[in-house]
Chain A
Amino acid sequence: MKKKVLATLLSVAMVSTVLAGCGGSSDSASADSSAETTEADDAAAAEDAGDAAAEEGTEEGTDEAAAEEEIPTSTFGDPNGTHLEMWTFVELHGQHYGNMVEMWNEQNPDRTIEITCTTYPYADMHTKLLTSLTAGTGAPDICDVEIGQFPNVVAGESTWLVPMNEYAAPYLDTMVQARMDVYAGADGNYYGIPYHVGATVMYYNAAAMAEAMGISQEDVIAKIDAVVTWDDYAALGQEYLDAVATDGKYWTSVDTAGCDWQWIAMAEYGEDWTGGFGGTANVQLDSVKKMLTMEQEWVNSGLAEVSPDGHVDLEAGFQNILDHNIVSFPKAMWYMSRFTNYMPEESGNWYIAKCPVFEAGQKCSVGIGGTGTVVTQQSANQELAAEFLAWAKMSEEGEQLIWDNLGFDVCNTVLWNDDAFAHDDSNQYNQFFINYPYDVLYSIKDDIGTVYTTAISPTINEQMCNVTLNDILENGMDVDEALQAAQDVVDLEQ
């Protein structure tokens, strides 16, 4: 009898440990994901992840994926309203929807919404989204998707995502068309709603230049405004470097882990290495060659250094700017928030101007980075979610908050020239920079080119940032040779 009891006990114990094994892990997993943490003060960390993402975002952001254990979740709106789930990789984005949902509920008391925004680290969020879309279950109603990752998500077209055409229609006439197009699927439907244009401009540290060159800030600004071509830009840089005459000081830094410079060149010549939707990718473009050759010369002549850690939107890049090791660089308008967040002591020093061009008369800017927000087919309230999303990101109310809180160059061009909107001195970005950012944006209104983000983009970006740019700028490889190698890799994928 004893034996029998013992045997039974043992087998029960064994079976239960097996089950406990399975159960245990799934338990802890679900506990993790639903952990209702308050909006912890890791806003900075979460943001970082997103910022990185706002760039081309292949590699950055993942560090936070690791470092950040807490998942900030916030719920806004009417507890009795329709519940929507929203995922993002930038906590501030979630707060934007929080603000917008309050406003929506006031305007639509019969159709109130409660929204729960969860901020995941950049890489985690995109992996989770792709996995849940593939699995057909577990995806949120609304989700932010970074432009570099967008091709992977939009590949699912209307199987995965809700076409936004109908919901975006009321706002389309004032929107920058190119920004809607970048979030379109191969079937021509719009699947993502943009936050910003991401127009690329040139940032100059006018204060540091004035100090080094021994002239007034006004004179420096006059010199900057006189820059038209890249030759002018290099000449001004040389003038600054001659004046400063210190080792370790450079005019600018060129990127090995980001393709911004190449994008600018392509936009200036009206080229696009992806070939657009349905086109054939070709990285051996004249514009790209010209830019790379110029960058290589600058590195060799000491005019430019290679950005520490690969590009300026990283901790080392911020430090480099704070140390005044570089005093100018091109970056999209959204980089303004990096100044206010990470380099507040630079307030009042920086001047924003349009980018130089190769030949006078060319376009001088390009929309870089961005986040398209999608509504998934898994949503139980697709219509409400889509309508709310379009309103939250494209209406004037929404655009106002995007500019005030997120510091983006909004896609509604009518606002660019709106005095109350663009010249509001209580806005932190207007306070931070010497000139009004929107004045620059308005002046280049018709000069913003487009480089598409298509299915081949992640491959091109990866090859460029991992291999080609390093070979050319760090290892001094011949530009044609490096681009041929890149083309071979790209060809394998198309």
Chain B
Amino acid sequence: MNDKLDRQALQRHLDQLPPMHPERRAAAVPMMQALQIEHGCLDDAAVEEVAHLTGLSVTEIDELATFYSLIYRRPAGRHVLRICDSVCCSLRGADRLLIAAENYSGVPLGKISPDGAFSILPSICLGLCDQAPAALVGDEAVGPLDEASLEALLQRLREED
């Protein structure tokens, strides 16, 4: 078990589980989200802890963790940038943005930039088609972007830390 895990905070998710949910398993996703906000991703110890608290097996929790695109089982950069690659953003230049992002960060999409500042991920439609081509920085929407504004954004994220 990982000493860093805040068991009390996790237990609160169980305690606060609305009575409409008769089984503890309903708290699995909210717990994983809380752990990720705290630690950046879910390591094996975190998965074991969620399994323990929800009464599910480690395999069942891992099945959920790996199914969901917004739950990470590996560390990510300090900032996560999701660039939409679906149809509307693609029509308005997302393909070029993805190439520019890779060139700027110097690592393939999905990898952490060498300075640890960011991870850049392609994403399904973000519901930002009216700002295409668009992206999310954490939970904040940005767009429309071009290569220059994307590089300026990455530069800013890098300098923020």
**B is bound to A:** no
List residues of B whose CB falls within 8 A of some A CB.
none
